[in-house]
Amino acid sequence: MAGDRRGAPPVTGRVVVIGSLNVDIVALVERLPRPGETVLGRDLTRWAGGKGANQAVAARAAGAEVAMVGCVGADEPGRAYLRRLTSLGIDTTAVQVELSEATGHALINVDFHGENSIVVVPGANSRLSAAAVGAAVSGLTPQDVLLMQLEIPTDLVTRAARRARDAGARVVLNMAPYAPLPTDVVAAADPVIVNEHEALLLADADQAADSLVVTFGAAGAAWGGRQRPGPVVAANDVIDTTGAGDAFCGALAAALAHGRGRGAALDAALSAGAAAVQHPGAQPDGRLP
């Protein structure tokens, strides 16, 4: 892959993101509720979210040429989201507009320490078509990076990964939220990105990724077992951890598309993740009207 070449000039490709677009409804709470408990919240706000779009925005912020493949509803939240992505310079040509489903939403509680709990309602994300995915993947080149997560139907992820592999493109797969995938799809990714919990689920499924990145939150991340620390963020600077993992994935994919090696790509990803916890919402300046 381009990011592993030694002595060759950097090769710049696109980052093509196939994934979810959600509107996040966020409530600030003093502490997260326990099961069966009601707590009072404040500052109910609406933000751009969804792992796919979060990662696309992060890749674009890291300087990559980015195309988004996904599905929104034919509603005001969907229209607002497409306007936002377009204004950021992301190609939204392959984003479907679904007439029969509302745009996906996530209901998020964030406590005073920046920790969160999230419920995702997929909505239009579940209607992303195989034809749209196939058309996007058919244009991939060996210089491109295909970045995916698992908030869309896993059969689409499977098809896209296989076709991207056959085209020689690099597949970066964030297995979040965790779901089982065929062994050849896991093997095709370079890398698979998981957090500690997802890494255990992957191991429990007897699947070994040939190229594996494990994130450890504030403790950094490891690629192939070689751990690198991330920037230190003071506790009082942590505002919202919602989009940190997505910022990490998007920045990593952008670095790989720019031909950077593992160490440099991890450093860029860790820096992006650390920056992400210091602003509200999953995306910087991502508040929607």
Other Cβ atoms less than 10 A from the Cβ of 76: the count is 12
Taking a C-beta distance cutoff of 8 angstroms, is the pair 25, 106 a contact? Answer: yes
**122 prior amide bond cis, ω within 30:** no
- The tokens describing 67, both together, are 């195309």
Instruction: Choose the catalytic residue: 4, 246, 267, 285.
Output: 246
Can you spell out the DSSP letters for 71-118?
EEESSHHHHHHHHHHHHTT-EEEEEEEESSSPPEEEEEEEETTS-EEE
CA geometry: angle at 23 spanning 20 and 25, to 5°? 135
Active site residue 246: yes
Please count the CA atoms within 13 angstroms of the CA of 203 that sit on its side-chain side.
9
Three-state DSSP at 181 gives: coil
Residue 11: strand, helix, or coil: coil
Q: Are 174 and 46 in contact (CB under 8 A)?
A: no
C-alpha to C-alpha distances, 245 to 50, 95, 98, 288, nearest whole angstrom = 12, 23, 28, 21
* CA–CA separation, 154 and 176 (whole Å): 11
Bridge partners of 226, per DSSP, are: 223
Helices and strands in the chain: count of H runs, count of E runs? 8, 13
| Rounded (10°) CA dihedral 36, 114, 78, 44 | 60
Please list the active-site residues: 246
